[in-house]
């Protein structure tokens, strides 16, 4: 028998339209179920007693107990702001009076349209994105952009330049070889990716359609502090900003294209953000798959096909949170403070810990370090995990340790790590 339950105890308890509020204990309530499709309309009245309320409470508790969370130093997917997670939790079941979760909404309905439009507006405000740039919320990860960039910005015989300061830039360069003629104008590989070249010394191709950089190499911990200018006046700078996106202010007008996977600083995996100067849209190679064509996505406001709706919603909550913190200037101050604390601990350890990256280009986001006594690294990671500091193992290609301290890593997390490092050193030096 199908029945409409206008008010069930659980729907009342779970429905929490006021955000930033945790779940309430159920009050005794009266419920009326009206049967439909029965020959004789019947009405059943019942009231939730203390006993039934207890039953509801027997369900596993909602996870809003902050003490259960670890400090997660993972490179991505990475830690998210606790208040954002709790907000999302409070409206997961029913989003703001819509009667459904964001996960269940039509991507073309007014509710989701309001979510994606606000996410875009907040991102524009955060990065002060000029009007002549489009913002696209896509899928496929930054890895898809390694192909989408050359497919959209040049033809097969066009030359483009790549400065490779780490493994991700190298992957982007290799992928571009399928779609145009990329030139490797600088690579830090022989020195194990610990620096960034002086821009004056770069020999750029005069006709390069674009110059590609990865502004923060997640594995090696190398970050651009300023940006090279393309030599070709008609060429543009293209940046993979996956691992330092929204970690500091950026002058977007210096770039033709910025792309980033969301899963480090701004949301869950599954959302890839592309910021592109509008006049660069509409020149894709004929072979470009429809899902890689910026024009298709720009013309359809990122709704050509079903977008990663829930991920976009989460990014929107993060953007809102970053604005509430005072914007990217404030966020950068916090990131600098955290990074300084950690690098100081490494540099002041008298060689017990070592960071191989040249000081002037050390990343504020990903801090790789090794132990002088490398045989102790496994022990370090094990002991840290016992102290609820996890995901400190370096990338398999470089070994050692890596602490990723993105926007959402609280200062307390870095302080705890530093204090652990000092203690570990005292015990093992
Ligand atoms: C700088 C950088 N670029 C690209 C990628 C690839 O991103 P995705 O796995 O989302 O394709 C990563 C992933 O960690 C990254 O750190």
Does residue 167's CB lie within 6 angstroms of at least one atom of ligand 1? no
The pLDDT value given to residue 57: 46
Residue (of 359, 415, 367, 375) closest to 395 by Cα position: 367
Which band of pLDDT confidence, cut at 50, 70 and 90, is reported for residue 63?
low
Does residue 165's CB lie within 6 angstroms of at least one atom of ligand 1? no
The number of the ligand 1 atom at minimal distance from the alpha carbon of 272 is: 10
**Mean pLDDT of the region 183-203:** 97
Is the pLDDT at 223 greater than 90, yes or no?
Answer: yes
DSSP bridge pairs for 210: 236
Reading the block at residue 384, the tokens are 């840290």
Ligand 1 centroid from CA 30, angstroms:
52
Distances (CA, A) of 425 to 77, 184, 298, 345, 428: 29, 41, 53, 11, 5
What letter would DSSP give residue 262? Answer: S
Does residue 244's CB lie within 6 angstroms of at least one atom of ligand 1? no
Is the pLDDT at 10 greater than 90, yes or no?
Answer: no
Q: What is the pLDDT of residues 35-50, one digit of tens each?
A: 333 334 444 444 444 4
Task: Report percent pLDDT > 90 for the chain.
Answer: 83
Residue (of 294, 297, 267, 303) closest to 105 by Cα position: 303
Residues 6 or more apart from 179 whose CB is under 8 A from it? 147, 150, 151, 154, 156, 285
Q: Is 358 left (phi over 0), alpha (psi -120 to 50) or beta?
A: beta
Contact 403, 342 (CB under 8 A): yes
Does residue 261's CB lie within 6 angstroms of at least one atom of ligand 1? yes
Q: What is the pLDDT of residues 70-103, one digit of tens each?
A: 999 999 999 999 999 999 999 999 999 999 999 9
Q: If you write DSSP's letter for every residue of 211-254 in order, what string do you get?
A: EEEESEETTTTEE-SS----SSTT-EEEEE-TTTTTSS---GGG
Atom 10 in ligand 1: residue holding the nearest Cα: 141
What is the C-alpha separation between 302 and 356, in angstroms, rounded? Answer: 41
Q: What is the pLDDT of residues 332-347, one digit of tens each?
A: 999 999 999 999 999 9
Atom 16 in ligand 1: residue holding the nearest Cα: 218
What is the C-alpha separation between 255 and 134, in angstroms, rounded? Answer: 12
Token look-up 């496929």 returns: 140
What is the C-alpha separation between 385 and 405, in angstroms, rounded? Answer: 16
The number of the ligand 1 atom at minimal distance from the alpha carbon of 217 is: 1
Is the pLDDT at 108 greater than 50, yes or no?
Answer: yes
């Amino acid at each position: 028998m199908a029945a409409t339950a206008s008010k069930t105890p659980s729907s009342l308890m779970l429905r929490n339209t006021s955000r930033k509020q945790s779940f309430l204990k159920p009050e005794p309530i009266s419920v009326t179920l009206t049967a439909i499709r029965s020959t004789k309309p019947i009405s059943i009245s019942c009231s939730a007693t203390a006993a039934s309320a207890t039953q509801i409470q027997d369900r596993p508790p909602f996870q809003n107990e902050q003490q259960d969370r670890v400090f997660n130093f993972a490179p991505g997917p990475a830690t998210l702001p606790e208040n954002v997670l709790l907000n999302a939790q409070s409206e997961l079941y029913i989003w703001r009076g819509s009667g459904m979760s964001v996960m269940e909404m039509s991507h073309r309905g007014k509710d989701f349209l309001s979510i994606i439009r606000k996410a875009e507006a907040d991102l524009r405000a955060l990065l002060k994105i000029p009007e002549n740039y489009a913002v696209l919320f896509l899928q496929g990860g930054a890895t898809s952009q390694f192909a989408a960039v050359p497919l959209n910005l040049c033809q097969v015989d066009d030359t483009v330049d790549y400065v490779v300061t780490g493994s991700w830039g190298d992957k982007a360069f290799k992928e571009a070889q399928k779609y145009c003629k990329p030139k490797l104008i600088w690579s830090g590989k022989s020195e194990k990716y610990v620096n960034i070249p002086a821009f004056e010394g770069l020999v750029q191709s005069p006709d390069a359609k674009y110059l590609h950089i990865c502004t923060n190499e997640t594995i090696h911990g190398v970050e651009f502090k300023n940006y090279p200018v393309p030599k070709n006046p008609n060429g543009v700078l293209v940046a993979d900003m996956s691992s330092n996106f929204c970690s500091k202010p950026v002058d977007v007008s210096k770039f033709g294209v910025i792309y980033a996977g969301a899963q480090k600083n701004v949301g869950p995996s599954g959302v890839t953000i592309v910021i592109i100067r509008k006049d660069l849209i509409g020149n894709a190679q004929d072979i470009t798959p429809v899902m890689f064509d910026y024009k298709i996505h720009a013309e359809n406001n990122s709704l050509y096909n079903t977008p990663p709706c829930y991920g976009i919603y989460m990014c929107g909550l993060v953007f809102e949170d970053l604005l509430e913190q005072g914007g990217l200037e404030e966020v950068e101050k916090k990131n600098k403070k955290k990074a300084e604390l950690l690098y100081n601990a490494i540099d002041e350890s008298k060689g017990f810990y070592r960071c191989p990256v040249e000081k002037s280009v050390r990343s504020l986001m990903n801090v790789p370090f090794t132990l002088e006594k490398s045989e102790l690294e496994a022990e370090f990671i094990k002991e840290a995990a016992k102290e609820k500091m996890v995901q400190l193992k370096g990338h398999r290609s470089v070994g050692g340790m890596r602490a990723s301290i993105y926007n959402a890593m609280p200062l307390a997390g870095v302080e705890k790590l530093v204090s652990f490092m000092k203690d570990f050193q005292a015990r093992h030096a």
